Amino acid sequence: MSPTTASKPVAAPAAQKRGRASQLSRFVQRNGSWAVLILMVIVMAFAFDGFLTGSNLGQIARQASFYAPLALGLTFVIFTGGIDLSIGSLYALGGVIAAWASSAGFIPALLAPLVVCGLIGLVQGMIVAGTRIPAFIVTLAGMMFARGLVLFITDEGSITHHVTASSHFTSLANGSILGVGLELTAISAVVLGGTMLTGGSGTIIGSLAGITILQLVANLINRLGLSNSNWQSVVNGVLLVVVAVAQTYLSRMQARNKGDAATAEEAAKNAPEPEPAIPGT
């Protein structure tokens, strides 16, 4: 149903205006991340020498590709109005299992982590689908379980399973790298990419933009001489607040332009399930 038909008591020109505002806010929501990304690239290209070099851009892309699978998988989960807090720990678990299984050859090292982590994901999904336990509780418990399993396999973190196949694997396999905070980076990226945390709307390509924005921020932090890499998570937290607040206002604007503003807002505030927050879509 179109916005104009929903607000029929209003005079036609006003309704038209509202329809345009609604379209605009939806456009911003869907494409804002790309606009921000392009703007950041332009500004940084002018501000810093050596930004637009192949090696620098290549490095940013390489780092972004490292996080991209996490963010892409999470985008699907958040589409459904759920959340997955366990992915950082599963990432660590996958690395440790790969290293552990690598003694049996390359194929087991590749398949074992996919099977184990996939199974844990499947069990979590079955619990979310089959019970009324909130997704964040299920996946927080999953996070705890996966971390416990990582510690168990590495004999309480004291053993490092080494692999000689590639240096990348070795760094992953260290039991002390628990993937702490990776799920948070991924959530930030997905939200930055314009996916609503209430579910129901968003784009995969936006999540890619979100991940790239976070890598640009990391690059920026380096260039500004903030030697402490922990600024990254401070900035991530701030970005998450800003985007979540912007999304709240954008979706309220859409709701307001679709019908009675007060009821829409109350519905959004009081709804136990996120679906009523986006009426009519």
Partner 1 sequence: MTTDSSLASEDAVTGAPPLADPTPPAPARNRLGAMTWISRYGVYVALVILLLLNMVITDHFMTASNLRLQLIQTAPTLIVAMGMAMVIGTKGIDLSVGAVMALSAAVVPLYIGYGSVAAILIGLVFGIACGLFAGFLVSVVGLQPIVATLSVMIGGRGLANVIAGSIKTISDPGIVALGTGSLLGIPYSVLIGLVVVLVVAFLVRRTTFGLNLESIGANQLATKLAGVRIAAVLLTVYAINGLLAALSGIIVAARTQASDPKTVGLLMEMDAIAAVVIGGTSLNGGKVRVLGTVAGALLMQLITATLVSHNAPDSLAQMVEAVVIIVAVFTQVGRRKS
| Site residues, partner 1 (CB under 8 A) | 83, 127, 129-134, 136-138, 140-145, 147-152, 156, 180-181, 184, 187-188, 191, 197-198, 228, 230-238, 240-241, 244-245, 248, 265-266, 268-273
Residues 44 and 195 sit within 8 Å (Cβ to Cβ): no
CA geometry: angle 232, 236, 237, nearest 5 deg: 120
CA geometry: angle 148, 85, 141, nearest 5 deg: 45
Residues 34 and 209 sit within 8 Å (Cβ to Cβ): yes
Nearer residue to partner 1 within complex by CB, 15 or 87: 87
Nearer residue to partner 1 within complex by CB, 15 or 93: 93
The nearest distance, CB 108 to partner 1, in angstroms, is 23
Cα separation, 134 vs 273, in Å, equals: 11
Nearer residue to partner 1 within complex by CB, 83 or 101: 83
What's the first-to-final CA gap in the chain, in angstroms? 8
The nearest distance, CB 238 to partner 1, in angstroms, is 6
Q: Which two tokens stand for residue 87?
A: 């992915």
Nearer residue to partner 1 within complex by CB, 71 or 191: 191
Nearer residue to partner 1 within complex by CB, 182 or 209: 182
The nearest distance, CB 256 to partner 1, in angstroms, is 13
Handedness of CA 144, 211, 64, 115 (dihedral sign): positive
The nearest distance, CB 252 to partner 1, in angstroms, is 8
Could you give the maximum distance between any two Cα atoms of the chain, in Å?
A: 73
The nearest distance, CB 226 to partner 1, in angstroms, is 9
Nearer residue to partner 1 within complex by CB, 55 or 158: 158
Cα separation, 128 vs 84, in Å, equals: 11
Burial class (CB in 10 A: 0-12, 13-18, 19+), 108: middle
Nearer residue to partner 1 within complex by CB, 15 or 161: 161
Of residues 265, 131, 255, the one with CA closest to residue 200: 255
Side-chain half-sphere of 65: how many Cα atoms within 13 Å?
Answer: 6
Of residues 120, 125, 137, the one with CA closest to residue 80: 125
The nearest distance, CB 242 to partner 1, in angstroms, is 9
Phi, psi of 239 (to 5 degrees): -60, -40
The nearest distance, CB 114 to partner 1, in angstroms, is 21
